[in-house]
Structures are given as structure tokens and as C-alpha cells.
Amino acid sequence: MDLLNTLVDKGLRRETPTRAEALAVLATTDDELLDVVAAAGKVRRHWFGRRVKLNYLVNLKSGLCPEDCSYCSQRLGSKADILKYTWLKPDEASQAAAAGLAGGAKRVCLVASGRGPTDRDVDRVSDTIKAIKEQNEDVEVCACLGLLSDGQAERLREAGADAYNHNLNTSESTYGEITTTHTYADRVDTVRKAHAAGLSACSGLIAGMGETDEDLVDVVFSLRELDPDSVPVNFLIPFEGTPLAKEWNLTPQRCLRILAMVRFVCPDVEVRIAGGREVHLRTMQPLALHLANSIFLGDYLTSEGQAGKADLEMIADAGFEVEGAGEVTLPEHRAGGCGSHAGGGACGSHDGAEAGCGSHEGGGCGSHEGGGVCGAAPASAPAPAASADEARPDLVAVRRRGAGTDLAPNA
């Protein structure tokens, strides 16, 4: 297949594919899927070998967010029956983080719902970062607190934060249909503030919100332009009680094509499978490891994930290995710059996808789809009807353990 050969060559050279090539990946058929995975897998292995980075989410405060992000179970007006609690104390957050680190995670993602942190909130999170690092000197810490004001990224960096996550989530042209209480430009500004402060920038997307192939390509090309170290790919978790509860638009095959497209466009960055992988990839999760080099371990912000032990078994059974604390995540040419601290990776998933760093749930650090392989999808074409997933609300389990509860976390 000429297209896939071209994309592999470009990925090994860090050359950006054309928009038509990226669209063509999303337009491939199920018969061509394994060829697509194999091609993107060559690029993934070239830059990251067979290592899988494990990340662990700690939801510092849950629910009661004033923003109206349609995908988020913590949004203003959400009827989702999620845990609601105010700020964890630094020692409580440190204990929660310790469970993930004991399970093999090398990065802890500290997430808090809300529009953005107050200066007092930055103080709280700074104290939490210090508490975690006192117990685990080599751990990477990513913060995901929403929109940043001037000077806040620098304060987090001084406190020991290694990365900051804030997702773009979807294309600029459709962002206003998903959220009205802040803008796409606000999100871009926060990613740039993190970068300028010397933090490793993490920013990703949410698939499955009814977007077109063009929307997906637009947001991934925008992310490439922002040049984050990490790109979390969330698959929408359609929580009952949120505006997008009926959006079941993804199949395992669609999810794999999306991950492959992201890998081709962002060949040498940490691509993380974030929220929703268990809901939409299901038994195809091991194949996704050939595309992404990073996952979240255990539970997400407000939803439960696969058992931590099952995550580790899946990685081993698929022929991959957990990335060690002493290993640098990013390739040498990237790790030498911003983000080289603490292993050089970045965070990702939250903002509506239930995975972590991003602005709260699916949008951050994170949690949430006839033509030949060379045929690009027609402009503005929605995902083909054949890609619609069967609604599986039985797979959406609200988190009832870990942070904010008296039960042991899943790690």
C-alpha cells in the first residue's frame, strides 16, 4: 500500500503527513485495519521500542465544576451520580499516588475540576507535589487544574511539577458546540503558558463526540503545531446525566484508526491511550499498544478502569514491557529540551474522557471510531453509519473507590 509506505517513511523522518493522508487513514476499511496498525507500529517502535509508560490519576477534588463542557460528568448541571468531594489534603493525595507508584506508574497526574486554579489552589497543589516527591524522589508529577493565569505555571514548576496537561479536545471550528463557558483560544493559551514556564506540555483530544473526520484531523494538526511532549487520546465515556450520554459513535476498529492517525501525525511524541479505552477498545486494547506508548493504570477521574493487575498482564502478554523509572520516555532529540526533567514525558487525559490531566474529565491528562486505503474521506463527512457502536452503558462504571473514599484504590 503506497499510502502506508509513505506514512512510515515520513514518520521515521519526523515529517508531517498531508491532511489528505491523515484523512485517508481514518477512511480505511476494516479489511485494511491490521495493515494500518502494522505500519503505525513501525513508527511507534522506531521512537519508543516496546516500552509502555504507566501513568496514575489522582482526582484532587471531584464534581461541582462551573464549566459546561458537554462531555464531562463533573460539569455544571451534570446529573451523573459521581463522587463529589472537595480538596484532598496533601497527605491524602500522597497516599493515593503511592498506590499507583507501587503498581508500576512512573508519573502521577494531579487533577482538579474547575475553570482554573486560584492562587490559594496553586499553593495547595504545590504542597501536594512536595509531599509526593518527598516520598518518591524520582516520580514525575503532572498537574491538570484548568485554565492558568499569568505566573501560575512558573509557581507549579518551582514547586516541582514536571508537566502540565490541558487538552484541546476537538477542532476549533466545533469547540463552541461542546463548551460555551470558555473558548478554544483559552485552552491554547494555557498550553503555551505551561510550555513557556519550562513545564512539559501535555495536550490531547476526545474522540466520539459526534465529530467528523475533518474535525479529528484539525485538532491533531493543531496539536502538532503546539508541539506538546504528550498527546492523550480520550474516547468519550457517555455518562448518563450528561448531554452526550447518547453518543455511542465508536467501534474498536474506529478507535485503532484514530490512534494510528495520531501516531503518523505526531510520530515522536508520547501518545497515551486515555479515558474510555476499556469502554470502546474492549478486547482490542492489546492491539492499541502497537500504536500508543503510554496508558493510565487503573481507575480514571470519576469512572472505574480495568484492574491494575489486568493492565500489567495485558502489557506482558502483548510482548511489551513497562517503562522503568530511570528510563527517559522521549527520544533524545526531544528529551533534551523542555520536558527533559523527570524522564521527559508528559501527561494527559481528563475533561470528559475520564482519564486525567486536562481541565477535568476527558479534556485533560488526559478520559473518552468502500474506499481503498488511499481514499480520503469527503470534506466534512461524518463518520460512516457502519462505524456506530452499540450502546454499552453497562461498561460505564462510576468510580466508588480510591481518592475521596475509604476504599483501597485500583492500581
Contact 62, 398 (CB under 8 A): no
Residue 174 — pLDDT band, cuts 50, 70, 90?
very high
CA 256 to chain centroid: 15
Residue 168's pLDDT is 97
Please state, in angstroms and rounded to a whole number, the distance separating the CA atoms of residues 33 and 311: 23
- For residue 219, is pLDDT > 70? yes
Residue 35's pLDDT is 98
- For residue 225, is pLDDT > 70? yes
- For residue 74, is pLDDT > 70? yes
Residue 336 — pLDDT band, cuts 50, 70, 90?
low
Given the residues 142, 255, 266, 365, the one annotated as active site: 142
**Cα torsion angle, 254, 191, 11, 212, sign:** positive
Given the residues 44, 263, 272, 277, the one annotated as active site: 272
Residue 406's pLDDT is 86
401 belongs to a structural domain: no
Q: Which of 166-170, 282-286, 289-293, 362-366 has the lowest mean pLDDT?
A: 362-366
Helix (H) or strand (E) holding 319, with range, is: none
140 belongs to a structural domain: yes
- For residue 135, is pLDDT > 70? yes
Contact 317, 285 (CB under 8 A): no
Q: What is the DSSP string of 330-356?
A: S-HHHHTSTT-GGGS----EEETSSSS
β-bridge partners, 142:
109, 163
Given the residues 44, 109, 277, 334, the one annotated as active site: 109
Contact 69, 187 (CB under 8 A): no
Contact 101, 132 (CB under 8 A): no
Residue 350 — pLDDT band, cuts 50, 70, 90?
very low
Q: Which three cell numbers stand for residue 349?
A: 487525559
Exposure pattern of 34-47 as b/e (b: 16+ CB <10 Å)? eebbebbbbbbeeb
Helix (H) or strand (E) holding 178, with range, is: helix 175-178
Q: Which three cell numbers stand for residue 346?
A: 508528559
| Model confidence pLDDT, tens digit, residues 387-403 | 466 889 888 888 888 88
Given the residues 44, 72, 157, 277, the one annotated as active site: 72
Of 365, 82, 358, 83, the closest CA to residue 239 belongs to 82
Looking at residue 373, the DSSP 8-state letter turns out to be T
Please state, in angstroms and rounded to a whole number, the distance separating the CA atoms of residues 253 and 157: 39
SS3 at position 99? helix
Given the residues 107, 124, 144, 202, the one annotated as active site: 202
Average pLDDT over residues 337-346: 40
- For residue 367, is pLDDT > 60? no
Please state, in angstroms and rounded to a whole number, the distance separating the CA atoms of residues 411 and 399: 13
Given the residues 65, 144, 347, 365, the one annotated as active site: 65
Is 282 catalytic? The answer is no
- For residue 361, is pLDDT > 80? no
pTM greater than the 0.85 cutoff: yes
Query: What CATH number is given to the structural domain containing 223?
Result: 3.20.20.70
Residue 409's pLDDT is 86
β-bridge partners, 231:
271
96 belongs to a structural domain: yes
312 belongs to a structural domain: yes
Looking at residue 377, the DSSP 8-state letter turns out to be P
354 belongs to a structural domain: yes
60 belongs to a structural domain: yes
Q: What is the DSSP string of 97-132?
A: HHHHHHTT-SEEEEEE-SSS--HHHHHHHHHHHHHH
| Model confidence pLDDT, tens digit, residues 243-266 | 899 999 999 999 999 999 999 999
403 belongs to a structural domain: no
Given the residues 69, 255, 338, 357, the one annotated as active site: 69
Q: Cell numbers 502521577 correspond to what residue?
A: 108
Domain region containing 272: 2-11+19-395
Is 65 catalytic? The answer is yes
404 belongs to a structural domain: no
Residue 304's pLDDT is 84
Is 357 catalytic? The answer is no
Cα 258-259-264 angle, rounded to 5 deg: 100
* Mean pLDDT (the chain, rounded): 87
When divided into structural domains, the chain yields a total of: 1
Cβ-Cβ contacts under 8 Å for 99 (sequence gap 6 or more): 56, 402, 408, 409, 411
Q: Which of 5-14, 62-71, 159-168, 176-185 has the lowest mean pLDDT?
A: 62-71
Is 266 catalytic? The answer is no
Of 233, 170, 210, the closest CA to residue 383 belongs to 210
SS (H, E, C) 183-224: CHHHHHHHHHHHHHCCCEEECCEEECCCCEHHHHHHHHHHHH
Percent of the chain at pLDDT exceeding 90: 71
Residue 331 — pLDDT band, cuts 50, 70, 90?
very high
Average pLDDT over residues 12-36: 98
Residue 188's pLDDT is 98
Please state, in angstroms and rounded to a whole number, the distance separating the CA atoms of residues 76 and 181: 10
